[in-house]
């Protein structure tokens, strides 16, 4: 039984209606575009000529089969009207990108392949779609620090995000286990901090845990990152870089011990996971160096937001360093908590003076003194976001449950390696950040939602795609669609949509469970969740009242 293409769209459009007839595209396909629409026309030609073998040529609007019209300024709304004569896409330049990806979903599934198949007729159903997103921030965080993600995998992942109308790619570029961005002023970040001797098996939290004995690493040159930014930008996706400070900085201090809390202490890039006590120090020499690093970062990433982490930073190293304590006293501050606020303010002011905004995990709000233009990403449940919104800060909702996609997709032992049990597809689809919001007057501070792909236990590109899809499809609809279906109806649409991922070659998890070759087995990818999610959520909820991680969270 055939399914009408309008009944397979993910995410679900705001308004759609079928019309009689269809539009068949035949070479040469006339494309009309002018001004800002030209870039979208270039994207259309590049993507569709490869998979359809159709030839696309410029044509006047009155004879073109595809017409691209810029009719709005800066929002993401679009209108897609198809009749037997032409398809007309209208909206802002960004809206046209979303219209194009909806048009691709209306075409036969084979248009997601990389080469044309014989015998395909390229038809579009006559219809009218008027669409706009619920939230302006629909993001995905990709951790490339714990396990390096090759550039080509990131470019492919951007295509998958664009397919689902995501508009933010948050790159976690530094952590204890690796530094991934070339900084010309500090070359040892590439030669030393970008690689580790080996990697702990599973979620190893000490050097004594079993390791694999295999070196691991990699970094992106500045030109690599500019390429990623440009590729994403053409697909209406903003790339937001993250350098995590002051915690999660062991790779940085391994390369430059003078930026650590105890310069005589030599450390190596961490081979295991968890929360490290190897913070950067807040001394003038280090703050100046961090600003030089940020200068180079700003030259690569045009994003208005620069993410500076701020999570999981145990402050005892600052308490125990005589040099840091002397600096604290010279500033007239009372304690390291006040010093933490001072440190954050130094970097936030630096960004603000250059027209950028600090964004950080929700710990950054805990000690006060956060500049008003800052944005808070709420990960320890929803309390941090509620507190930040009440204080007037913009907020991105990214709570562990249900937006952390490093948790298993099911509690069955056939699942591959994950960090914990389990975030189900229906958990993602049921998420509504407004549902438990205590004060509706502050909810407009919520910019949107974001899913997280932390990579301690995501070992390669196939594993990454498995953990992301189809759960990211569900969050895409939560972020985009103001009126979501019930889960059963979404699942029916998703079953059809997965044929597009199949054509694109995505290693997604089927709805009925993993394929035999996707199972964890008994080797390195064996299912061994470290965290019971319900217990972890209770712990995280209590932790949200503190700016520092509990002592039992520190890695060995």
Q: Which residues are catalytic?
A: 175, 248, 312
Closest listed residue to residue 385, CA positions, set 435, 322, 327: 435
> Strand 168-172 vs strand 238-245: parallel, antiparallel, or unpaired?
parallel
Q: Rounded to whole angstroms, how far apart are CA atoms 69 and 133?
A: 19
Note whether 437 and 386 are within 8 A (CB).
Answer: yes
User: Which positions ≥6 away from 248 have C-beta within 8 Å?
Assistant: 174, 175, 176, 276, 309, 311, 312, 313
In the block, tokens 């985009």 appear at 480
Note whether 476 and 420 are within 8 A (CB).
Answer: no
Closest listed residue to residue 52, CA positions, set 62, 65, 38, 61: 65
Distances (CA, A) of 404 to 141, 361, 442, 452: 9, 14, 25, 5
Indicate the DSSP class of residue 234: T
In the block, tokens 């503190």 appear at 546
User: Which positions ≥6 away from 267 have C-beta within 8 Å?
Assistant: 250, 253, 254, 257, 260, 278
214, two tokens: 């295999």
12, two tokens: 């679900």
In the block, tokens 């679009």 appear at 78
Indicate the DSSP class of residue 362: G
Sign of CA dihedral 218, 219, 223, 228: positive
In the block, tokens 């459009």 appear at 13
User: Which positions ≥6 away from 189 have C-beta within 8 Å?
Assistant: 179, 181, 182, 183, 219, 251, 252, 255, 256
Count of all residues that appear for the chain in the document: 556
Helix, strand, coil shares, percent, the chain, to 5: 35, 20, 45
158, two tokens: 């951007």
193, two tokens: 């901090």
């Amino acid at each position: 039984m055939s399914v009408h293409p309008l009944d397979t769209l993910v995410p679900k459009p705001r308004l759609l209606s079928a019309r009689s007839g269809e539009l068949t595209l035949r070479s040469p396909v006339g494309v009309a575009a002018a001004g800002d629409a030209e870039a979208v026309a270039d994207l259309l030609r590049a993507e569709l000529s490869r998979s359809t073998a159709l030839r696309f040529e410029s044509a006047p609007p009155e004879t073109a089969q595809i017409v691209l019209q810029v009719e709005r300024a800066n929002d993401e709304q679009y209108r897609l009207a198809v009749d037997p004569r032409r398809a007309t896409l209208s909206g802002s330049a960004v809206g046209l990108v979303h219209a194009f990806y909806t048009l691709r979903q209306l075409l036969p599934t084979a248009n997601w392949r990389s080469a044309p198949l014989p015998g395909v007729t390229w038809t579009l159903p006559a219809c009218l779609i008027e669409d706009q997103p619920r939230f302006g921030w629909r993001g995905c965080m990709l951790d490339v620090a714990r396990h390096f993600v090759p550039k080509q995998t990131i470019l492919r992942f951007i295509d998958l995000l664009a397919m689902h109308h995501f508009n933010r790619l948050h790159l976690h570029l530094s952590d204890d286990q690796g530094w991934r961005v070339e900084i010309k002023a500090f070359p040892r970040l590439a030669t030393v901090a970008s690689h580790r001797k080996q990697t702990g098996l599973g979620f190893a939290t000490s050097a004594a845990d079993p390791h694999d004995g295999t070196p691991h690493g990699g970094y992106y040159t500045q030109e690599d990152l500019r390429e990623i930014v440009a590729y994403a930008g053409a697909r209406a996706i903003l790339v937001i870089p993250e350098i995590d400070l002051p915690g999660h900085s062991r790779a940085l201090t391994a390369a430059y011990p003078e930026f650590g809390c105890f310069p005589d202490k030599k450390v190596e890039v961490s081979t295991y996971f968890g929360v490290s006590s190897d913070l950067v120090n807040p001394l003038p020499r280090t703050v100046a160096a961090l600003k030089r690093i940020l200068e180079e970062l700003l030259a690569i990433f045009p994003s208005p937001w620069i993410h500076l982490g701020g999570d999981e930073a145990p402050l005892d190293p600052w308490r125990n360093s005589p040099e840091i304590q002397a600096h604290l006293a010279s500033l007239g501050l009372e304690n390291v908590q006040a010093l933490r606020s001072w440190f954050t303010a130094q970097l936030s002011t630096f960004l603000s003076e250059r027209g950028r905004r600090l964004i950080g995990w929700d710990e950054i709000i805990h000690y006060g003194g956060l500049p008003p233009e800052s944005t808070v990403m709420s990960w320890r449940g929803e309390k941090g976001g509620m507190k930040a919104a009440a204080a007037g800060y913009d907020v991105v909702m990214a709570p562990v449950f249900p937006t952390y996609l490093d948790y298993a997709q099911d509690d069955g032992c056939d699942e591959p390696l994950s960090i914990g049990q389990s975030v189900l597809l229906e958990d993602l689809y049921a998420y509504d950040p407004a549902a438990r919001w205590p004060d509706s007057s502050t909810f407009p501070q919520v910019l949107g939602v974001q899913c997280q792909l932390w990579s301690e236990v995501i070992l390669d590109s196939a594993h990454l795609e498995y953990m992301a899809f189809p759960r990211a499809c569900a969050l895409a609809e939560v972020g985009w669609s103001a009126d979501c279906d019930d889960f059963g109806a979404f699942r029916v649409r998703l079953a059809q949509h997965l044929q597009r991922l199949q054509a694109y070659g995505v290693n997604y998890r089927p709805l009925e469970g993993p394929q035999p070759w996707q199972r964890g087995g008994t080797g390195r990818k064996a299912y061994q969740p470290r965290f019971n999610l319900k217990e972890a959520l209770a712990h995280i909820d209590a932790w949200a009242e503190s700016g520092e991680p509990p002592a039992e969270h520190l890695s060995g």
